[in-house]
Structure 1
Amino acid sequence: MWSAAITSVIGASYTSVSFLVSFSSWIEANRNRLVVAFIALSTVLYLSLGTTPVNLLILAGALNGLILPVGLGVVLWVAWRRRDLLGGYRYPAWLLSLGAAAWVLTLYLSWDSLTKIPDLWS
């Protein structure tokens, strides 16, 4: 259990600092120090709370699950309606239909995971 929590902290720290790098050259120059500081802060919070951040990780995963249907929807819209962006290429109708079915499935799965979030805190 400890190793999973520490691994999550390290992964989240590196990812968070990686997103911040584009904001400032100072952040880029101090990336390694910031990752270490983020890990230390997260570890202190983790130890002071006395519990694993399982609910927060599940919440983050559920919210990240919204990205797939949005991204897939945009790609399908471009494939269906914006041939000018694809150099005039026209996707076969069967392929677009299969993509639309996959999009509907991702919408359902996202909705299903989001509706179960309140159960995490009950």
Structure 2
Amino acid sequence: MSGSIVGKKSFEFAVNIIKFYKIFIVDKKEYVLSKQLLRSGTSVGANIREALNAQSKMDFIHKLSISQKECDETIYWLELLYQTEYISKVEFETLHSQAIELLKIIRSIIITTKNKLQKP
């Protein structure tokens, strides 16, 4: 993913999610919600990587759409962990802002790709 901005950002995000998860399970002893966050947060980049190796533009859009859903799910888990006071405002804001940025980039790429497909 060296040439892709979204690829780099999603990889960095996954690394941050993993680091957070490792600390979180030790400090908070919470394993269910944090595992959901780990799964969805790392899935964003994995699906972006798949999209970058897509077999067609439609496959590309499909893989990015999955990544978009996983990113939105990650935001949900972060919001839930914050509202239930499992994570601090600083922890929340750091990961949440990264996730929101990724979501916007992914959505923009999907829209742009769809628009290009519709033009003759």
TM norm structure 2: 0.46
TM norm structure 1: 0.45
